[in-house]
Structure 1
Amino acid sequence: MLKIDRLELGPVQANCYIVSGDAKQCLIFDPGEEAGKIQELLKRKQLTPLAILLTHAHFDHIGAVDELREVYGIPVYLHYKERDFLGLPNLNGSGKYAALPDYRVAEADKLITEERSLEIGPFKMELYHTPGHSPGSVSFYFPHDRFAIVGDTLFAGSIGRTDLAEGSEQVLLKSIRESLLTLPDETFLFPGHGPETTPIQEKHHNPFLQR
């Protein structure tokens, strides 16, 4: 049984998830900021990270990528449609806000090019391309443990914003309905902000999906 730890990090409290197994290895999802807090958790739980996986490349999900990649010597996975977002503030959203520094992160080590199964060490997951919030948004589904990490595609009672670079509400709703709401009803969906939810909860109570 996999374990999930959540840290709310950075200026907009984005969720970073640490998924770990019995062998004390783990995956880091969306390390948005505050690398020290992530390192403290890994040290406290005696976890060895194998990779960093990004649901997408907006600034609030990438701020600690370079520091963690250097400290642990691990690869970064990202969908190929956002390969340029990491280094360009006008694409990753940081350039939109005068109060924020420009976020620039080195290129991803592994580019996701298709929906497929992915194995990293003992971890096995299914990849779903779920664009709309951003062009390369990816959801990571762990069927054996019945949960998915969905980034800013879907929230409890809401959906991701679509006013940043290459966003589209029509595309986003299509992704949600075809990739996330078709998962088993009681699957836990872990979003980029806020609490977890399930497909059945969102089918019945999400106002954006009642249209």
Structure 2
Amino acid sequence: MKWKQIPLGPLQTNCYLVYDERKTCLIVDPGENPRKLTGIIEELELKPEAIVLTHAHFDHIGAVDRIRDKYGIKVYIHEKEKDWLTDPALNGSKYFMQHEPIKAREADELFTDEGPISIANFYFEVLETPGHSPGSVSFHFPKSKFILAGDALFQGSIGRTDLPGGNHNQLIKSIHDKLLVLPEETEVLPGHGPTTTIGMEMESNPFLNGF
């Protein structure tokens, strides 16, 4: 399994293309710049199978409908944020965007629980990692030894918890119970910034001292 990180939009939110040897791919968090994103997909000759969202803050969903419609694919999100795509007050764009608030149509499929899931040719684990937002999830690919952590865990930092629905103690618990228990060599693909590993964050992340 391969992946490509694509920073998009003014907040440089990381979108990821996760793809296999057959060139089928999952699109994770298409935050903005649909033209740039589709150009890279075509350059890599990939066939998108679905959009999966780690959460529904505005900087992670801006290109959802354009990408969904172009490729005729489904959008997946956790049920706790099923209303966020359509509501700028919930996804934050009402308060943070200088221009038009961001809206997308409802998701096609909902994650209702954590555990193994298969989408097309992709088999991975959905882990509930709330705290940054109520429906934040992470996508773990154990065989390929990486996890898409959204805005839960960053290199040397953690997600902000001062937005509606955020909870600092809950986020720390999510990281401790769901992420730090993974093998230390697991590569962490965050929603912003460079990649890291579970081992590196256990050793040096100042927000996780004591774990």
TM-score (norm: length of structure 2): 0.97
Separation in structure 1 between the aligned mates of residue 99 and residue 42 of structure 2, nearest angstrom: 30
After superposition, what is the alpha-carbon deviation per residue over 1:51-83, rounded to whole angstroms, capped at 9, x for unaligned? Answer: 000000000000000001001000000000001
Tell me by how many angstroms 1:100 deviates: 4.1
Query: C-alpha offsets along residues 103-159 of structure 1, whole Å, 9 cap, x if unaligned?
Result: 111000000000121111221100100000000000000000000000000000000
Q: Aligned residue for 1:173?
A: 172
The 1:44–1:178 alpha-carbon spacing in structure 2 relative to 1, beyond 3 Å, is same
**In the alignment, does 2:56 pair up with 1:49?**
no
Cα distance in structure 1, aligned partners of 2:182 and 2:78: 21
1:187 positional shift: 0.1
**Equivalences for residues 76-115 of structure 1 within 5 A:** 76-97=75-96, 99-115=98-114
Structure 1 portions without partners, runs of 5+: none
Aligned length, in residue pairs: 210
Report deviation, 1:101. Answer: 2.4
Q: How does 1:167-206 map to 2 (within 5 A)?
A: 167-206=166-205
Taking only aligned residues, the RMSD between alpha carbons, in angstroms, comes to: 0.9
Taking the aligned partners of 1:106 and 1:79, their CA distance within structure 2 comes to 15
1:124-139 alignment, distance < 5 Å: 124-139=123-138
SS at the partner of 2:189?
strand
Measure, in 2, the Cα distance between the counterparts of 1:98 and 1:159: 23
Equivalents in 2 of 1:68, 1:130: separation in Å? 25
Tell me, yes or no, if structure 1 residue 122 matches structure 2 residue 86.
no
Partner of 2:62: 63
CA distance in 2, matches of 1:40, 1:3: 18
Return the letter of the residue paired with 1:118.
I
2-structure distance, mates of 1:208, 1:173: 8
The whole-number CA distance in structure 2 between the counterparts of 1:73 and 1:155 is 32
Shift of 1:40: 0.6
Greater shift, 99-108 or 48-57, is seen at: 99-108
User: What secondary structure, in the 3-state scheme, does the structure 2 residue paired with 1:104 have?
Assistant: coil
Larger deviation, residues 29-38 vs 91-100:
91-100
Percent of aligned pairs with the same amino acid: 52
Deviation at 1:182, TM superposition (A): 0.5
User: 2-side partners of 1:100 and 1:117: how far apart?
Assistant: 39
Secondary structure of the corresponding residue to residue 22 of structure 1: coil
Corresponding residue for residue 15 of structure 1: 14
Shift of 1:97: 2.0
Distance 1:113 1:63 in 2: 23
* Whole-Å separation in 1 of the counterparts to 2:125 and 2:150: 15
Which runs of no fewer than 5 residues in structure 2 stay unpaired? none
Q: Does 1:142 align with 2:141?
A: yes
